[in-house]
Amino acid sequence: MNWQDLLEWQNLIFALPFVGALFYLVLLATGTFSADHDIDHDIDHDIDHDIDHDIDHDHGIEHTHDVSGFMKALTLLGLGKVPLSILLTTFFITFGFFGLVANGVLQKILVFPIVYLWVSLATTLFLSIIFTRSIAIGLAKILPTTETYASKPGDLIGLGGEIIYTATEFSGTCDVYDKYNTLLRKQCRIKKGNEPIPPGKKVVLLEYDEANGEYIVSENNLMESITSQSQEV
């Protein structure tokens, strides 16, 4: 297979993820892009909320937190064992490599791309998942585990934050800086009977609801006052 073959549509499906992952690695190696622990920590701990926060806001129905298909797929690959950036980079490289190899072999047997592409995709996905998961398990054994900058849920109690998506009795989202000065995006809600808190309002995290994985918040009137005074000045 030469470089011109890579431009054919059935090969581009695999070539583009492969090249994209390699380009990402080049950026990391040259220091152009930094995938520090803040990014991976925020994604690893909040991806379920940010990608698929399926909540029923009907007042007559109790809301539920469903695990998304995407989250299940990441868990299968090894999410939680290694940083998400390493996980996805490994998957895209293996997906591209195995896909191009499969196409190269199968085109000699099945001839027509529309026929052998489906076999290539099935084979490639299976091999990529197995290989990526194996890499994640292997790296998890050698990556440092004695030191972590991840904040525990209880560490954020009493800290101030800012509402991003309106906080109601059923759902909401706020940004808060932990003691390591890492910006975290967390699920939140207000206590029953309180008025909804709109985006932009300052809040304080009162307690953590472990069952639902969200924080109970209330308006931080002191911070609102300080912010208003500074704006007037």
Helix or strand run (H / E) with residue 163: strand 160-165
Q: Which residue would you say has higher pLDDT here, 172 or 87? A: 172
Q: Is pLDDT larger for residue 49 or for residue 101? A: 101
Asked if 134 and 157 sit in the same domain, the reply is no
- How much of the chain exceeds pLDDT 90, in percent? 26
In this structure, the answer to whether residues 11 and 126 fall within a common structural domain is yes
Q: Where is the domain boundary, 142, 173, 194? A: 142
Asked whether the CA dihedral 144, 20, 99, 48 is positive or negative, the reply is positive
Residues 95 and 132 in one domain: yes
CATH code, domain carrying 225? 2.40.50.140
Mean predicted confidence (pLDDT) in 209-224: 83
Q: Is residue 174 part of a domain?
A: yes
Q: Which helix (H) or strand (E) holds 185?
A: strand 183-189
Helix (H) or strand (E) holding 103: helix 84-110
Closest of 159, 208, 181 to residue 42, by C-alpha: 181
Number of domains in the chain: 2
Indicate if the pLDDT at residue 162 is higher than 80: yes
Residues 225 and 165 placed together within one structural domain of the fold:
yes
> Domain for residue 147, yes or no?
no
pLDDT of 189 > 80? The answer is yes
Q: What is the CA radius of gyration of the chain?
A: 23
Is residue 188's pLDDT more than 90?
Answer: yes
> 130 with 185, same domain?
no
Q: Tally Cβ neighbours within 10 Å of residue 233.
A: 5
Please report, in angstroms and rounded to a whole number, the separation of the first and last CA atoms in the chain. 67
- Domain stop point among 88, 110, 142: 142
Alpha carbons 103 and 120: distance in angstroms, whole number: 6
pLDDT (mean) for 111-125: 88
- Overall average pLDDT of the 34-55 stretch: 44
Tell whether 135 and 171 lie within a shared domain.
Answer: no
Among 117, 142, 167, give the residue marking a domain's end: 142
Range of the domain at 157: 153-232
Mean pLDDT of 140-166: 75
* Average pLDDT for 134-161: 74
148 lies in a domain?
A: no
183 and 95 both lie in a single domain: no
**Residue 126: pLDDT over 60:** yes
Structure pTM? 0.48
Q: Which of 122-126, 186-190, 224-228 has the lowest mean pLDDT?
A: 224-228
Which one has a higher pLDDT value, 204 or 10?
A: 204
Indicate if 34 and 93 belong to the same structural domain: yes
Residue 90 lies in a domain: yes
Mean pLDDT taken over the chain: 75
Q: 133 and 186 share a domain?
A: no
**In-domain check, residue 103:** yes
Structure tokens at 57: 């806001």
92 and 161 co-located in one domain: no
